[in-house]
């Protein structure tokens, strides 16, 4: 670039000496000389305000992205805990359905409380995950409206509690499911008294 400018200046000096005729190079190039040139570094740099705004925008984007990922993992964890609680409750209720009427009402075969874990197959206590505490209650079926066969039915309720430790705060979760069993129910067809 400097060589071209020097050549153009020499061409102007020849123009003055040759009586006003233009140099052939200037005629062919048809180049207008810039009156003010900024340095290359100045043209490529950003202003401080632009840098601050773009930095703040990047910070907001990354914080939002991190919060979205974190909340997605938290929702997945809670959903898994709820699903496992439902599995435990159904497991207990399906087992209770196999008891006959005398075992259900007049024996102590059904435990009042039980404990199970998120991963019950593991052997070490720390790797089993969340501890689920459960209760099973067998009581009279309070049907609304009442029926003539109320005394021949029982309501079985399985309730499960677990604590989800989330940092300093812990949240206690509760799930419950109720089913009915009748004296003349399906167990008499499968098992005889």
Helix (H, G, I), strand (E, B) or coil at 156: strand
Nearest to 4 by CA among 20, 24, 25: 25
Mean pLDDT of the chain: 80
Asked if 111 contacts 95 with a C-beta cutoff of 8 angstroms, the reply is no
How long is the chain? 193
Do 99 and 71 belong together in one domain? yes
Spatial CA neighbour of 140 closest among 160, 155, 161: 155
Asked if 76 and 148 sit in the same domain, the reply is yes
41-84 confidence digits (pLDDT tens): 656 667 888 889 999 999 999 999 999 999 999 899 889 999 99
Average pLDDT of the residues in 96-104: 84
Asked if residue 99 and residue 12 are part of one domain, the reply reads no
Q: What's the structural domain count of the chain?
A: 2
> For the segment 153-172, what is each residue's pLDDT rounded down to a tens digit?
889 999 999 987 666 678 88
Residues ≥6 apart with Cβ < 8 Å to 190: 98
Residue 146 has pLDDT above 90, yes or no: no
Q: Give, in order, the Cα–Cα distances in Å from 55 to each of 58, 62, 68, 99, 181.
A: 5, 11, 20, 67, 66
Question: Do residue 97 and residue 165 come from a single domain?
Answer: yes
29, pLDDT greater than 80:
no
pTM of the model: 0.64
What is the extent of the structural domain holding 101?
48-190
pLDDT at 193: 47
């Amino acid at each position: 670039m400097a060589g071209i400018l020097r050549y153009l200046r020499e061409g102007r000096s020849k123009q003055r000496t040759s009586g006003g005729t233009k140099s052939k190079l200037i005629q062919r190039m048809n180049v207008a000389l810039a009156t003010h040139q900024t340095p290359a570094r100045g043209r490529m740099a950003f202003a401080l305000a632009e840098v601050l705004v773009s930095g703040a925008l990047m910070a907001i984007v990354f914080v939002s992205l991190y919060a979205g990922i974190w909340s997605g993992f938290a929702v997945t964890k809670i959903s898994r805990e709820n699903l496992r609680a439902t599995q435990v409750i159904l497991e207990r209720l399906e087992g209770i359905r196999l008891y006959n009427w005398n075992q259900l009402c007049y024996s102590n075969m059904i435990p009042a409380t039980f404990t199970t874990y998120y991963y019950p197959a593991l052997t070490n206590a720390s790797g089993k995950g969340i501890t689920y505490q459960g209760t099973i209650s067998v009581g009279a079926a309070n049907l609304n409206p009442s029926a003539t066969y109320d005394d021949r039915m029982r309501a079985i309720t399985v309730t499960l509690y677990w604590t989800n430790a989330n940092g300093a705060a812990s949240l206690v979760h509760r799930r419950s499911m109720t089913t009915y069993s009748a004296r003349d129910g399906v167990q008499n067809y499968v098992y005889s008294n």
